[in-house]
Amino acid sequence: MKKIIVAISVTVLLISCEHKAKKSVYQRAESNKSFEVSYPNLKTGNRTLDLAYRIAIGDLFSNIQDYESKLTGEVIPVIIAGVDYNNPWIRDAAINSWNGGSFIVPQIAKNTLFSVIKEQEDGKLIMTGQYWDAMLWTTGAWNHYLVTGDREFLEQAFRVTRDALAFFEETEFDPEYKLFRGLAWSDGVAEYPSKYANVNGQSGAFLWPKYNQDKIAEKGFGIPMMSTYANTVYFNAYQVAIKMADELSEEDTENWFEKARNLKEAINMQLWNNKTGLYNLYIDENGVCEIEEALANSYAIMFGIADENQTQSIFKNTHVSAAGVTCGWPELPRFKKLNKDGMTFGRHNVTVWPQIQGMWADVAARNRKSAIFEHELFTLAAHAVRDMQFSEIYHPVSGERYGGMQMNNGKMVLWQSTRRQTWSATAYMRMIYNGVFGIKLSQQGISFAPLVSEGISNPKLTNLKYQHMILNVSIEGSGTKIESFKVNGIKSDKAFISKNVTGTQNVIIILE
């Protein structure tokens, strides 16, 4: 396959700031600098999968737009949330880089990650936007370093991570529960029981403190909920902070190892539910909410919080619809009352969000759950090809684009499913890269654990830019068990390539 490199000329900014005459680690890049965009080509022998991939690439590129950095005020190209948005969001920035943006548009992914950082009055750096999942930025930043090997970026990311963890430990950590306060995956009230949907008829759950002053937490933002989702994000931020420190030969002066261990213990003690076989949505002073959330349970597996028995239980008990894994289950009572036709669902309650499908499919592939992985992969691809775009949300029964019901200005209304949603498109890329080809990155290099399903024939992924090499990966056979792994014609006992290798690497994997 021919290598495709696209050069585009834009104004590029790494990040520039100074505080109290101290030289910052953030340096301005030269204006009008040209940089490469690497387009990995995919052939799977399946027209739907291949076309969906092309659509995903198109959706990603259509959402690269100029944006004014909150940190510097400079206008830089970034990956925005979708065609119906005008800016990047903190979690979108992390997820889109993590899902594939750092492979394809590394400089723009880097811009995007820094575009959601601000400097506080005390000179500390912190993420903007949704505070409860802000630390997901660290996971995206670490992946960006593993993809690119950009050590200067890692130094910058380490500073942001250190400052932000200290800030949230001070403002949102509850010493009684030993958990962080914060909402679950959704910023909308449609995910939550009526208690946390009490926001004067509005849609934003983050408005809760404003309308519940007598119930707010004493410190921080004020929401007393401690969700599984938020705490899985914090746990992995600690794990990544440790790895960053190790890579930079920094000492763990903040006791992150101990904090991670204690947080994992608290999550399993306070939020695991033996009865449902899943993690609860949240705990607060009134007890636990047993609603399941697919993303939180996926992260619990992905980040190593769930043990083997818990992992198998999550796969067994998570609710999956005909259109894919649902964001939550069961139906909240207020939506169940509306669902007289069996086709009316809450926006963040029983609907199918591709960005969650991507994470769920990823952990399924890692755990060799072929049927679970295949359902998400082929269903999402079919939806994208039908609509010629990746939508924000799908109906769990019909599979059509569907925004779901949620309050807005005092009325329960049907919201839209926004168009060309970037994290939906990159979720599909994640299924291809991490699932079909089984790519896994580490501090040492890149490894492969493919999952090739029926309906896929001799898949090939070419022109994948990783560190200082270009990878062309071909797989023969199907299943998950590797019989042979060759790099440039030389057989290797391990399906692994060191990050120190350079140049074009032609990989042939033969499955039994």
Region 457-481 average pLDDT: 98
Residue 401 and residue 500 in one domain: no
Take residue 481 and report the two structure tokens written for it. 């068990």
The whole-number pLDDT of residue 24 equals 33
Residues of the chain above pLDDT 70, percent = 93
**Average pLDDT for 330-340:** 97
Query: Where residue 472 sits, what CATH number does that domain have?
Result: 2.60.420.10
Residue pLDDT, tens place only, 280-330: 999 999 999 999 999 999 999 999 999 999 999 999 999 999 999 999 999
Are 204 and 232 members of one domain? yes
3-state secondary structure of 486: strand
> Which among 384, 405, 436 is the end of a domain?
436
Question: What's residue 36's pLDDT?
Answer: 67
Q: Picking from 113-122, 159-168, 276-285, which range would have the lowest pLDDT averaged per residue?
A: 113-122
Q: Is the pLDDT of residue 398 over 70?
A: yes
Long-range CB pairs of 24-29 (<8 Å, 24+ gap) are 25/152, 25/155, 25/156, 25/159, 26/71, 26/114, 26/156, 27/152, 28/74
The residue-averaged pLDDT of 338-365 equals 98
Please give the structure tokens belonging to residue 72: 């510097």
428 close to 62: Cβ distance less than 8 angstroms: no
Q: Tell me, yes or no, whether 273 lies in a domain.
A: yes
Q: Tokens in use for 486?
A: 């060759």
Residues with Cβ within 8 Å of 459's Cβ and at least 6 positions away in sequence, in order, are 42, 43, 44, 45, 436, 437, 450, 452, 474, 475
Q: Kindly tell me the number of DSSP H helices and DSSP E strands found in the chain.
A: 15, 28
pLDDT recorded at residue 70: 80
- Structure token digits, residue 410: 């005092």
Query: What per-residue confidence (pLDDT) applies to 48?
Result: 98
Q: Is 106 part of any domain?
A: yes
Do 387 and 417 touch, CB atoms closer than 8 A?
A: no
Is 132 within a domain?
yes
Please report which confidence band the pLDDT of residue 19 belongs to, taking 50, 70 and 90 as the band edges: very low
Same domain, 417 and 471: no
> Is residue 154 situated within a structural domain?
yes
CB neighbours (10 Å) of residue 284? 19
- Same domain for 356 and 476, yes or no, is no
Q: Which residues contact 248 (CB under 8 A, 6 or more apart)?
A: 154, 155, 158
pLDDT of residue 252: 81
At 35, the pLDDT band (50, 70, 90 cuts) reads: low
Same-domain check for residues 375 and 451: no
Beta bridge partners of 279: 272
Same-domain pairing of 278 and 246: yes
CA triple 492-496-498, angle to 5 deg: 110
Q: Is residue 441 part of a domain?
A: no
| Last residue within a domain, chosen from 436, 458, 478 | 436
Q: Is the pLDDT of residue 23 over 70?
A: no
User: Three-state SS across 14-54?
Assistant: CCCCCECCECCCCCCCCCCCEEEEECCEEECCCHHHHHHHH
- Judge whether 40 and 464 are in contact, CB under 8 Å: yes
pLDDT at position 421 is 98
Give the CA distances from residue 165 to residues 168, 246, 256, 483, 489, in Å, rounded to whole numbers and listed in that order. 5, 17, 10, 44, 46
CATH assignment of the domain containing 78: 1.50.10.10
Give the pLDDT mean for 365-385. 98
> 165 and 278 share a domain?
yes
First to last CA, the chain: 25
Taking all residues of the chain, what is their mean pLDDT, rounded to a whole number? 93
Domain housing 121: 5-436
C-beta separation of 107 from 121 below 8 A: no
Q: Provide CB contacts within 8 A for 258, sequence distance 6+.
A: none
Weakest-pLDDT range from 31-35, 91-95, 184-188: 31-35
Q: Determine the Cα–Cα distance for residues 232 and 224; give it in Å rounded to an integer.
A: 17
pLDDT of residue 14 exceeding 50: no
Which single residue is written with the structure tokens 């779901």? 404
**Per-residue pLDDT reduced to its tens digit, 76-106:** 999 999 999 999 999 999 999 999 999 999 9
Same domain flag for 239 and 320 = yes
**Torsion sign, CA atoms 237, 239, 245, 247:** negative
Residue 417, in any domain of the structure: yes
Phi/psi of residue 508, each to 5°? -120, 120
- Mark whether 138 and 88 lie in a shared domain: yes
Domain end: 401, 436, 471, which one? 436
Q: pLDDT-based confidence at 27, cuts 50/70/90?
A: very low
Rounded Cα distance between 268 and 151, Å, is 35
Same domain membership, residue 134 and residue 32: yes
Give, as one character, the DSSP assignment of residue 8: E
pLDDT of residue 510: 98
337-348 exposure pattern, b = at least 16 Cβ within 10 A, e = fewer: eeeeeeebbbbb
**For residue 198, is pLDDT > 50?**
yes
Nearest Cα to Cα of residue 93 among 72, 76, 111, 68: 111
Residues 337 and 477 in one domain: no
Cβ-contact 380, 364 below 8 angstroms: no
Choice among 23-37, 145-159, 160-174, 269-283 with the minimum mean pLDDT: 23-37
Q: Provide the pLDDT for residue 73.
A: 85
Q: How many domains does the chain have?
A: 2
Asked if residue 328 and residue 388 are part of one domain, the reply reads yes
Dihedral sign, CA of 419, 381, 436, 458? negative
